[in-house]
Structure 1
């Protein structure tokens, strides 16, 4: 009898989940609309997903274990882009992101950056000198890293990140924006997995609206 009750409980929970997933998304509850919509930076026909984040943000740090496997499973018609928050004290960490990206090691060292800031606290990501010392300890060519980090190209990328944050009306991180239109809201979520599940639903909505 206990087994039967357990099975009914599981079935009921699954039915509840299916109903929740089938419920229509509501503007102001699940997402906000950007006005005006912003141009995207992915191939025509693709759906852009931007994650505005900062290495120094503890919420971004806790989101990281969930978002990495989620990104790998995104459909082929979705283009995902990390955008570092670059204002004020966050500018050095944005420069770090773009420098590692140019050196093609950001994916490899991303977890190390977060762990060094929030775990053992061996990296002060608001300080240019500390960042360059950290990079050398990680085995990166110190001169090459420094030259790229201080370059005009990196400064231009940081300025572009600032412009994107402004045009997408970003007030905090992490914030996910789908297809230049839909800002994913956190009103109804209780976990980072919930946030990504809601983002999946909004991606589906964006895809349907494209058609």
Structure 2
């Protein structure tokens, strides 16, 4: 009998340990006091404040890129490079702007992080970046350089600076879902991806509920509410 009880307890423990734990507010994520407007209101935005000079960002990036590949059509990644000065961060933001505008994040980001942290190449220096980029074969370096030297590039990097300042971004990486839920990583980046997907679904449901409420509100009820508000 004792052996049977121990077996049942062991089986139960194994089962419960395999159940995914729901994300906890103020542990796995926090709700922002000041939401950040999404670029696309009715979609699910995954906003990533990062820096190519941030070692933690380099560790997070493989997980973010993997998730990005499987995003549903209503979900998109919005990478914003932080700008904290007029030299290193601003010039790296120009690199990020070029990567974003050419759609080469999946191919270029791993190579850029490797160049900075493994090969110690100073890609924040424009001359160094231009020379390095055209030599790359993992992505279209010529196309990236053209985007980097375009008229729009500096303006986009300046916009990244404004976002960094407006929302007082003091550290990286910071991942925000739906403009209002900031992802935390108490159990590491791999575990954080489960929370990321849970928050994406949470925002998706909130968007659907809001849209359904708006569509299903009868005109008579709407008029009644408006009349009550004006009394």
TM-score normalised to the size of structure 2? 0.74
Instruction: Flag the 1:129–1:77 CA change in 2: closer, same or farther, 3 A.
Output: same
Contact kept, 8 Å, 1:61 with 1:114, in 2: the verdict is: yes
Task: Classify the secondary structure of the residue corresponding to 1:39.
Answer: coil
- Residue in structure 1 matched with residue 153 of structure 2 by the alignment: 154
2:70 matched to 1:73? yes
Residue 190 of structure 1: how far off its partner (Å): 2.1
- Deviation readout 1:33-61 (Å, 9 max, x if unpaired): 2233222112x421111111112211111
Task: Classify the secondary structure of the residue corresponding to 1:93.
Answer: helix
Instruction: Flag the 1:16–1:105 CA change in 2: closer, same or farther, 3 A.
Output: closer
Contact kept, 8 Å, 2:98 with 2:144, in 1: the verdict is: yes
For 1:194 and 1:178, locate their aligned partners in 2 and report how far apart those are by CA, in whole Å. 16
- Deviation readout 1:103-146 (Å, 9 max, x if unpaired): 4444322221111111222x2123222111211222633xx765
- Residue in structure 2 matched with residue 190 of structure 1 by the alignment: 187
- Residue in structure 2 matched with residue 20 of structure 1 by the alignment: 21
- Of 10-19 and 75-84, deviating more is 10-19
Instruction: Flag the 1:66–1:146 CA change in 2: closer, same or farther, 3 A.
Output: closer
- Residue in structure 2 matched with residue 117 of structure 1 by the alignment: 116
Contact kept, 8 Å, 1:48 with 1:78, in 2: the verdict is: yes
Residue 198 of structure 1: how far off its partner (Å): 1.5
Contact kept, 8 Å, 2:28 with 2:192, in 1: the verdict is: no
TM-score normalised to the size of structure 1? 0.80
Contact kept, 8 Å, 2:45 with 2:179, in 1: the verdict is: yes
Contact kept, 8 Å, 1:38 with 1:167, in 2: the verdict is: no
Instruction: Flag the 1:71–1:6 CA change in 2: closer, same or farther, 3 A.
Output: farther
Map 1:38-117; keep pairs closer than 5 Å: 38-42=36-40, 44-88=41-85, 89-117=88-116
2:127 matched to 1:129? yes
Instruction: Flag the 1:130–1:202 CA change in 2: closer, same or farther, 3 A.
Output: same
Map 1:161-200; keep pairs closer than 5 Å: 161-186=160-185, 189-200=186-197
For 2:148 and 2:20, locate their aligned partners in 1 and report how far apart those are by CA, in whole Å. 49
Contact kept, 8 Å, 2:134 with 2:145, in 1: the verdict is: no
The runs of 5 or more residues in structure 2 that have no matched partner are 1-5, 210-231
For 1:96 and 1:113, locate their aligned partners in 2 and report how far apart those are by CA, in whole Å. 9
For 2:155 and 2:45, locate their aligned partners in 1 and report how far apart those are by CA, in whole Å. 21
